[in-house]
């Protein structure tokens, strides 16, 4: 399979998975207000300015876009591959300053034209991109000089000595770990950001290990697909519940860490 065919296949699967996920995704959000809080955490970490313009890449069903608009009075253009997520987002985001469009985050300039944004943000989406360099090349072009690109990332589940508790959970379940948890890992995404912005800053949001939260988070069809690839949704969900139930005794010792990276477009970047 050529690289282009591989990338297209990944994107088709991502769009299908999220098309199936939008209701469960929203139910999860109603229970935890999680993606809202993660978007605000990212915004605070990068000192996002009130009233600024944001390109929200992988905007999903508009939770991050609405959070940024409601808290920081931002105007937001959201782009997402999934038709169903965008349709749900258009219901959620009624403010005229928010616009959500179905499209590929690797082809941002085609979508936004020559508009320059103050920020390009990826809230829990960049790790799903098969070609992180392509999307960041596009983001830089959509950013004004001095503007910022930032992403929040897939969770790490860590123990007292920073050991990877996800691996511990698989071992206890008696199943092999998937070869890849994410399509693009944090180091690769960070290096690609550094190549475009020079020095970048890293931030973290650490939360206590909450087994119920992890079971709900990874029960979203699109999230469970990477943990138990090749299995039907019902089976994946059962395995996810068992997987994290194995960490009950780690509750007081572990934490869930959400990483955030931030870069600035310097004047020299074309
Ligand atoms: C975990 S959701 C996050 C949604 C939203 N940012 C939020 O905070 O609720 C990740 C989203 O990234 C989108 N996505 C993944 N790859 C994409 C791509 N190449 N172009 C546009 N969107 C993409 C998915 O369709 C999905 O809706």
* CATH code of the domain containing 102: 3.40.50.150
Nearest-CA residue for ligand 1 atom 13 is: 58
Q: What is the pLDDT of residues 6-63, one digit of tens each?
A: 889 989 999 998 998 889 999 999 999 999 999 999 999 999 999 999 999 999 999 9
Ligand 1 centroid to 185 CA: how many Å?
16
109 closest CA partner among 99, 120, 98, 125? 120
Ligand 1 centroid to 172 CA: how many Å?
31
Ligand 1, residue 67: give the atom nearest the CA: 8
pTM, to two decimals:
0.96
Nearest-CA residue for ligand 1 atom 27 is: 60
pLDDT band, residue 270 (cuts 50/70/90) = low
Q: What is the pLDDT of residues 225-238, one digit of tens each?
A: 889 988 988 999 99
Q: What is the pLDDT of residues 47-105, one digit of tens each?
A: 999 999 999 999 999 999 999 999 999 999 999 999 999 999 999 999 999 999 999 99
* pLDDT mean across residues, the chain: 95
* 228 part of a folded domain: no
Per-residue pLDDT averaged across 179-204, rounded?
95
- Residue ranges making up the domain that contains 44: 3-154+180-207+255-264
* Count of domains observed in the chain: 1
* 122 part of a folded domain: yes
Can you tell me the distance from the alpha carbon of 240 to that of 238, in angstroms, rounded to the nearest whole number? 5
Residue 124 has pLDDT above 90, yes or no: yes
Per-residue pLDDT averaged across 199-215, rounded?
97
- Residue 140, SS3? helix
Q: Is the CB of 138 under 6 A from ligand 1?
A: no
pLDDT band, residue 269 (cuts 50/70/90) = low
Q: Is the CB of 123 under 6 A from ligand 1?
A: yes
* 167 part of a folded domain: no
Q: Is the CB of 124 under 6 A from ligand 1?
A: yes
Q: Is the CB of 78 under 6 A from ligand 1?
A: no
């Amino acid at each position: 399979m050529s690289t282009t065919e591989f990338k297209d296949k990944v994107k088709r699967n991502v769009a299908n998975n999220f098309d199936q996920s939008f209701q469960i995704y929203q139910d999860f959000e109603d229970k935890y207000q999680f993606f809202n809080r993660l978007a605000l955490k990212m915004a605070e970490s990068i000192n996002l300015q009130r009233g600024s313009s944001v390109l929200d890449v992988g905007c999903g069903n508009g939770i991050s876009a609405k959070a940024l608009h409601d808290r920081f009075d931002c105007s937001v253009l959201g782009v997402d591959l999934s038709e169903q997520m965008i349709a749900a987002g258009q219901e959620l985001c009624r403010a005229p300053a928010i616009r959500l469009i179905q499209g590929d985050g690797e082809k941002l300039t085609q979508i936004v034209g020559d508009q320059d944004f103050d920020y390009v943000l990826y809230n829990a989406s960049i790790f799903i991109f098969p070609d992180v360099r392509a999307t960041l090349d596009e983001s830089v072009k959509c950013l004004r000089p001095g503007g910022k690109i930032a992403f929040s990332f897939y969770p790490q589940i860590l123990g007292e000595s920073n050991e990877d508790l996800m691996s511990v959970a698989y071992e206890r379940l008696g199943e092999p770990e998937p070869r890849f948890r994410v399509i693009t890992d944090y180091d690769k995404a960070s290096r690609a950001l550094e190549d475009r912005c020079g020095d970048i800053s890293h931030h973290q949001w650490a939360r206590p290990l909450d087994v119920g939260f992890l079971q709900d988070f990874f029960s979203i069809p699109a999230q469970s697909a990477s943990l138990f690839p090749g299995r039907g949704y019902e089976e994946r969900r059962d395995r996810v519940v068992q997987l994290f139930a194995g960490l009950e005794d780690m509750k007081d010792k572990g934490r869930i860490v959400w990483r955030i990276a931030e870069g600035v477009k310097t004047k020299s970047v074309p």
